[in-house]
Structure 1
Amino acid sequence: MRKSHILYLLSFVFILASSCRFNPDMQGPGETALQGEWQQGSVVLQKKLLNYSLYHFKFSCDSFFVSIRSFSKANGGYPDSCVQNGQWSEYAKGVYEQKHDTLRLKGLFSNADLTYKIEGGCFRSGKYEETFKLVKKADSVIQFFPTSSVIPFDARLTKRSSCTPKPL
């Protein structure tokens, strides 16, 4: 009877130990095709829209930085000190994962200098999550279909880079 208890205990410890892993101390390689900077040119019918945003993505290994420049013909409830002539920018950084045609960005809102944005102040702060369906139109053009919007957009590769993993 004691041998069976010891065997169960050792099996449990082995399963527990094999399921635990330390987080990697280096960036992952990310997607080769995404490495670099991508700029959205315009939005379909943007002159007729009340609100729209333009994205600038920077992918480095498995990390991303996004700049979202928003335009509004209506104030939207933000103080005048936040909205400059109906324009403002938001930033986020984090890690991404691509599976098949789906790109998931997970991170936090940040300032333009890559420091994390504290809560309060103008616009969004805290967790940033966005999902896109991607369609490659050419070697340097990808069409993004955001799940948070009904308007797809094209982004052009403006600067190609390769992944050089950095310590975390």
Structure 2
Amino acid sequence: MQKRFVFFRSPFLLTLAFCLLLSALSFPGCKFNPDYQEQGQQYLQGEWLQDTSALQKQLVTATAYRLKFSCDSFFVSMNSFSKAVAGADTCIKNGHWAEFAKGIYQQKHDTLILKGLFCNPNFSYKVEGGCFRYGNYQEAFKVKKQTDSIVRFAPLASVLPFNARLIKRNTCIPKPL
């Protein structure tokens, strides 16, 4: 008499196979994170400096951006000033202060979405307390490439768009995560 291997006669194996099939059908969008960072937008690769306009110089409070894009990652420096500083403040030095953030970005149609965390100038993450903002950083811009070296950024949380000019081009070389 020849013995046949029958996989599904065991109740345990039948239950295990059913659970595996159910989990595969329930989570079809699940996948492992990539081993390397993604390419990002080719036209953004490099360092960009905001051009200040005459209007911005007339404002009471304004922020100037310096953005660096490397593959799918960003680092932003926000240099702010205010002519309306009331009283002594150890954080605001003569009406000037800087904040920094780093993270990843993605572009959907004409909208550039930056998501990351506030950090120190040396890229270390900023801890709670101290001066200014900490924790999550998220900002979105409508972007329009004007030329190879000028991009128009229109912050969705502000009414003043600005141009940024390319000061240093770089090439994306994806790094391991």
* TM-score with structure 1 setting the length: 0.90
Identity over aligned pairs, percent: 54
| Cα offset, 1:44, TM superposition | 4.5
> If the length of structure 2 is used for normalisation, what is the TM-score?
0.85
Partner of 2:120: 111
* Structure 1 residues 57-101: Cα deviation after superposition (integer angstroms, max 9, x where no partner): 000000000000001001268x62111111000000000000111
Structure 1 residues without counterparts, runs of 5 or longer: none
Which amino acid in structure 2 is aligned with residue 120 of structure 1? G
Give the aligned partner of residue 72 of structure 2.
62
Which of 138, 146, 159 does residue 129 from structure 1 map onto? 138
2:50 is matched with 40
1:115 corresponds to which letter in structure 2? S
Instruction: Show the counterpart of 1:50.
Output: 60
Q: Distance in 2 between matches of 1:43 and 1:126?
A: 30
**Partner SS, residue 137 of structure 1:** strand
Q: Is the 8 A contact 1:43 1:54 kept in 2?
A: no
Q: How far 1:139 sits from its partner (Å)? A: 1.2
Query: 2-side partners of 1:110 and 1:154: how far apart?
Result: 24
Larger radius of gyration: 2
The count of aligned residue pairs is 165
Instruction: Report the AA paired with residue 61 of structure 1.
Output: C
Q: Distance in 1 between matches of 2:118 and 2:92?
A: 18
- Local SS of the residue matching 1:114: coil
Q: How far is 1:8 from its partner? A: 5.5
Change (3 A) 1:158 1:76: farther
Whole-Å separation in 1 of the counterparts to 2:172 and 2:152: 22
> RMSD of the alignment, in Å?
2.1
Amino acid at match of 2:84: A
Greater mean deviation of Cα atoms: 19-28 or 128-137: 19-28
Q: Bigger shift: 11-20 or 151-160?
A: 11-20
Q: 1:30 matched to which residue of 2?
A: 40
SS in 1 for 2:118: strand
Residue 148 of structure 2 is matched in structure 1 by: 139
